[in-house]
Amino acid sequence: MELTERQKRIIQIVKENEPISADNIAKHLYLSKPTLRTDLTILTMTGILDARPKVGYFFAGQNFEPLLFEDLYEKSISEIMVPPVVIKKEATINDAVTMLFMHDVGTLYVTENQVLLGIISRKDLLRSTISNTSINKVPVAMIMTRMPNVVTLQEDERILDAGYKIIQHQIDSLPVISKDNPALVIGKVSKTVVLKHFIDEAMHLKK
Amino acid sequence: MELTERQKRIIQIVKENEPISADNIAKHLYLSKPTLRTDLTILTMTGILDARPKVGYFFAGQNFEPLLFEDLYEKSISEIMVPPVVIKKEATINDAVTMLFMHDVGTLYVTENQVLLGIISRKDLLRSTISNTSINKVPVAMIMTRMPNVVTLQEDERILDAGYKIIQHQIDSLPVISKDNPALVIGKVSKTVVLKHFIDEAMHLKK
């Protein structure tokens, strides 16, 4: 829902003068009270203003701007993606674990000249370290999930697509693939990145 | 925003008869057109209905119910929490890794008679398996994050609190603690559980 300029102005007047009667709001705007009736009804129904009989209008919500489906779910993932932590395919499992802890991430992308070859998760590494794998010799290419078996995102997909894929495929991280060259990885959208987006939007609304 | 019964009825009439003029909506409801003016303005402004001059009203959105801050962020975490996978403090690191893979979870809660002693993450286990720890001998109690150093949730906290704690503390899982007995763990809220809630709400709105 898009507020009109007049509705935004009314909210401002109420915030500065609460409690304030409809008559006085009308005076501030040099308009008649009947002209404002629909605006005041809308602002009250949406919970932005609160009206108390014989007292006047109050600013009711912390939520000045209404929650928008577009902002929450339909933004492009390019607005929230982060740089991936990458590793070479010749690196050992031991190297990978060290890198995982150094960067405090859950997933490493195995690349060669920015081309995505596969990904390695904490779970893959744990499976290797618990078994008798020679972690100082075996290269990550041996244990990675290999393309094209990796679930990826196109750079023009939406945040809802990212969240849906993460939940559906029970994965932690989605490599973002270039639209121009579908071999190249240009970013990462993890479970944390998507969740942080939803929480940031809420904190922003509560400000 | 809460729709009135009359507004819901108008939406129903428009859905079944679109395009339909304000006059005809009024006839359906045995009301006068001026009586409906505010309702139609509200339904149009919120994007639920769409009005085209000389044609009439259409049902505009896939989003019948507007996105509600309360539904998304202010529900109690007890509505989304799941049962935790628990392990005894005497279990070995090897037992813990096996259990993690068996249940396909990221975190185990170490408990004794439902009392929370600590938690163990994939990261904790990876740290142990990569070092020279005797994974068949060392009990999980040796490597767990111990209470009271575990970030927890009260059962009456909100979904926004859960998401905020997960992001702020960079953790994957929050044990839910009983309100009556703060030693007991009664559920789990993981990063996945919170993200799934946000995605489910969106899919529900798009239906």
Share of chain A above pLDDT 70, in %: 94
Q: Hey, is the C-beta of A8 within 8 angstroms of any chain B C-beta?
A: no
Residue with tokens 């509560």: A206
Over residues B133-156, mean pLDDT: 93
pLDDT in tens, B87-129: 999 999 999 999 999 999 999 999 999 999 999 999 999 999 9
Q: Based on the domain organization, do A138 and A194 belong to the same domain?
A: yes
Q: Hey, is the C-beta of A133 within 8 angstroms of any chain B C-beta?
A: no
Q: State residue A64's pLDDT score.
A: 46
Q: Hey, is the C-beta of A159 within 8 angstroms of any chain B C-beta?
A: no
pLDDT in tens, A147-168: 999 999 999 999 999 999 999 9
Q: State residue B158's pLDDT score.
A: 96
Q: Based on the domain organization, do B183 and B146 belong to the same domain?
A: yes
Q: State residue B64's pLDDT score.
A: 45
Q: State residue A53's pLDDT score.
A: 83
Residues facing B120 on adjacent strands = B108
Q: Is A195 exposed, middle or buried (0-12, 13-18, 19+ CB in 10 A)?
A: buried
Q: Based on the domain organization, do B90 and B190 belong to the same domain?
A: yes
Which of B49, B65, B69 is most worth mutating to test chain A (most A CB atoms within 10 A of its CB)?
A: B69
B-chain CB neighbours of A67 within 8 Å are 66-69, 72
CA distances from A10 to A16, A46, A89, A102 (A): 10, 14, 61, 52
CATH number at residue B31: 1.10.10.10
Q: Give contacts of A 79-98 with B, CB under 8 A.
A: 94, 97
Q: Kindly state whether residue B127 falls inside one of the protein's structural domains.
A: yes
CB–CB of A47 and B203 under 8 A? Answer: no
Q: Based on the domain organization, do A149 and A188 belong to the same domain?
A: yes
Q: Which H or E run contains B175?
A: strand B173-177
Question: Given pLDDT bands bounded at 50, 70 and 90, which one contains residue A47?
Answer: confident
B-chain CB neighbours of A126 within 8 Å are 97, 100, 122, 125-126, 129
Q: Based on the domain organization, do A49 and A133 belong to the same domain?
A: no
CB contact at 8 A, A172 and A120: no
Q: Which residues contact A96 (CB under 8 A, 6 or more apart)?
A: A87, A108, A120, A125, A140
Q: Which residues contact A119 (CB under 8 A, 6 or more apart)?
A: A107, A108, A109, A110, A144, A145, A150, A173, A175
CB contact at 8 A, B199 and B183: no
CA distance B177 to B194: 17
- Alpha helices (H) along chain B: 5-17, 22-29, 33-45, 69-73, 93-103, 122-130, 159-169, 191-206
Q: Based on the domain organization, do A120 and A191 belong to the same domain?
A: yes
Identify the closest residue of chain B to A95 by CA–CA distance.
B130
Q: State residue A207's pLDDT score.
A: 52
User: In this model, does residue A70 exceed pLDDT 60?
Assistant: yes
Over residues A169-187, mean pLDDT: 96
The better pLDDT of the pair B177, A41 is held by B177
pLDDT in tens, A77-112: 999 999 999 999 999 999 999 999 999 999 999 999
What 3-state class would DSSP assign to B98?
helix
Q: Based on the domain organization, do B163 and B92 belong to the same domain?
A: yes
Q: What is the DSSP letter of A182?
A: T
Over residues B166-172, mean pLDDT: 96
Q: Kindly state whether residue B207 falls inside one of the protein's structural domains.
A: no
User: In this model, does residue A133 exceed pLDDT 90?
Assistant: no
Share of chain B above pLDDT 70, in %: 94
Q: Hey, is the C-beta of A183 within 8 angstroms of any chain B C-beta?
A: no
* Tally of structural domains, chain A: 2
User: In this model, does residue B62 exceed pLDDT 50?
Assistant: no
CB–CB of B163 and A194 under 8 A? Answer: no
Q: Kindly state whether residue B89 falls inside one of the protein's structural domains.
A: yes
Identify the closest residue of chain B to A41 by CA–CA distance.
B38
Q: C-alpha B161: how far from its chain's center?
A: 11
Identify the closest residue of chain B to A130 by CA–CA distance.
B129
Domain-ending residue, one of B59, B86, B102: B59
Q: Kindly state whether residue B65 falls inside one of the protein's structural domains.
A: no
pLDDT in tens, B38-61: 889 888 877 788 888 888 898 876
> Hey, which bits of A82-147 come out as E strands?
86-87, 107-112, 115-121, 145-146
Identify the closest residue of chain B to A193 by CA–CA distance.
B167
Question: Given pLDDT bands bounded at 50, 70 and 90, which one contains residue A2?
Answer: low
Nearest Cα neighbor of A29 from A45, A48, A50, A7 is A7
Q: State residue B121's pLDDT score.
A: 96
Q: Based on the domain organization, do A29 and A109 belong to the same domain?
A: no
Q: Based on the domain organization, do A85 and A44 belong to the same domain?
A: no
Q: Give contacts of B 184-203 with A, CB under 8 A.
A: 191-192, 194-196, 198-199, 202-203
Q: List phi, psi (to 5°) of B175.
A: -65, 140
Q: Based on the domain organization, do A99 and A128 belong to the same domain?
A: yes
User: In this model, does residue B9 exceed pLDDT 80?
Assistant: yes
Q: Hey, is the C-beta of A42 within 8 angstroms of any chain B C-beta?
A: yes
- When mean pLDDT is compared over A16-20, A48-52, A135-139, B174-178, the highest value belongs to B174-178
Q: Based on the domain organization, do B19 and B114 belong to the same domain?
A: no
CB–CB of B163 and A45 under 8 A? Answer: no
Residue range(s) defining the domain that contains residue A49: 5-59
CB–CB of A126 and B127 under 8 A? Answer: no
Identify the closest residue of chain A to B193 by CA–CA distance.
A167
Q: Kindly state whether residue B91 falls inside one of the protein's structural domains.
A: yes
Q: State residue A66's pLDDT score.
A: 57
Lowest-confidence region among A66-70, A199-203, B191-195: A66-70
Q: Kindly state whether residue A194 falls inside one of the protein's structural domains.
A: yes
Q: Based on the domain organization, do B76 and B33 belong to the same domain?
A: no
Q: State residue A115's pLDDT score.
A: 97
Q: Which of B37, B68, B123 sits opposite A122 (nearest CB)?
A: B123
Q: State residue B61's pLDDT score.
A: 63
Which of B191, B200, B207 is most worth mutating to test chain A (most A CB atoms within 10 A of its CB)?
A: B191
How many residues does the structure list for chain A? Answer: 207
Nearest CA of chain B to the CA of A45: how many Å?
A: 6
Q: Kindly state whether residue A66 falls inside one of the protein's structural domains.
A: no
Q: List phi, psi (to 5°) of B205.
A: -70, -30
Q: State residue A126's pLDDT score.
A: 95
CA distance B45 to B48: 8
Q: State residue A62's pLDDT score.
A: 47
CATH number at residue B101: 3.10.580.10
CA distance B90 to A168: 35
Query: Cα B176–B181–B185 angle (5° rounding)?
Result: 30
Query: Cα B48–A202–B187 angle (5° rounding)?
Result: 105
Q: State residue A46's pLDDT score.
A: 74
Q: Kindly state whether residue B66 falls inside one of the protein's structural domains.
A: no
